Amino acid sequence: MKRAFPILGILTAILLSYSLYMALVVAPTEQTMGDVQRIFYYHVPSAWTAFILFTINFVASVVYLIRRKQGADIVALVSAEVGVVFCTIVLVTGPIWARPVWGIWWTWDMRLTSTLVLWLIYISYLVLRRFSASGETPLLAATLSIFGALCVPFVYFSIWFFRTQHPQPVIGGGGSIDPRMLHVLLINWLAFSCFALLICWSRYRLEKLQREVEQAQALESLTQSPGSPR
């Protein structure tokens, strides 16, 4: 396991540089949008990675509620943290692309709005983790994660109804994609997934060590307190 980490690191570095080259040089320029379309190769893979991480967060939370294993809690924490980072990338790259293409930074479109609400839900998840008493954090966080996951279909449908009642120019989706573009997109997604896995892994080890240190310190202060018999 110890050797796998640097291997994954090197693999990620190679994949990320290759996918950068693919996205900026190899991929054909889009006919109408021009070069600004290339942000698509970062926007979409980040979105997919974020959604996968949020799914992992939900599964890990359910596992924690059933088994009460610390490992599941750390996985839930780490996937939510990294998921929020990728979701932030999605929300930042989206408007950068939308401004020249749509002419507006933001529209209350179905996909934009549901991603934003998802981001808000997971921010509140991280805030809860930060503010709750340490012993109860895993349990409360796991409960909130389940509520968040239950909320996702409602967010999606409510905004769908909202937008079908007030039609807006919805751009994107539909139409076919050049196979070369799809190829670049998938390579980028692979690179981003490896990158996410790498961050999650090191964050997992960090969190685990931190908890071990805290436990050791708590044990030490218990055994060395002046009132207790030596």
Partner 1 sequence: MPSPTGITRATLVKDLRLEWRSKDAINSMLFFSLLVVVVFSFSFDPNAEESRQIAGGLIWVAFLFAAVVALNQTWAREIRNQVLDAYRVSPAPANSLFLAKAIGNFIFVSVLEALMTPLFVLFYQLRPLGPAWQLLVVAALGTWALVVNGTFFAAMSLRTRSREIMLPLLLFPISIPALLAMVQATTNILTGEGARVWMALLLSYDLVFTTACLILFETVLNAE
Extract the tokens encoding 216: 């050791």
Nearest to 56 by CA among 82, 30, 32, 75: 75
Of residues 32 and 134, the one with the C-beta less far from partner 1: 134
Residue 173 has φ and ψ, to the nearest 5°, of 65, 180
| Distance separating alpha carbons of residues 27 and 9, to the nearest angstrom | 25
Residue in 10, 26, 146, 209 binding partner 1, rule: CB under 8 A: 146
Q: How far is CA 52 from CA 6, 82, 228, in A?
A: 23, 11, 50
Residue in 52, 63, 140, 190 binding partner 1, rule: CB under 8 A: 140
Contacts (Cβ under 8 Å, ≥6 apart) of 45: 185, 188, 189, 191, 192, 193
The 152-191 site mask, x for binding partner 1 (CB under 8 A), equals --xx-xxx-xx--x--------------------------
Per CB under 8 A, 132 contacts partner 1 = yes
Task: Give how far the C-alpha of residue 178 lies from the chain's centroid of Cα atoms, to the nearest Å.
Answer: 27
Of residues 68 and 205, the one with the C-beta less far from partner 1: 68
Whether residue 54 contacts residue 77, with contact meaning beta carbons closer than 8 Å, is answered with: no
Per CB under 8 A, 62 contacts partner 1 = no
Per CB under 8 A, 121 contacts partner 1 = yes
> Which stretch in 6-14, 30-38, 76-84, 133-141 sits in contact with partner 1 by CB under 8 A?
133-141
| Distance separating alpha carbons of residues 211 and 204, to the nearest angstrom | 11
> Which stretch in 23-31, 73-81, 138-146, 181-189 sits in contact with partner 1 by CB under 8 A?
138-146
**Binding positions for partner 1, rule: CB under 8 A:** 65, 117, 120-121, 123-124, 127-128, 131-133, 135-136, 139-140, 143-144, 146-148, 150-151, 154-155, 157-159, 161-162, 165
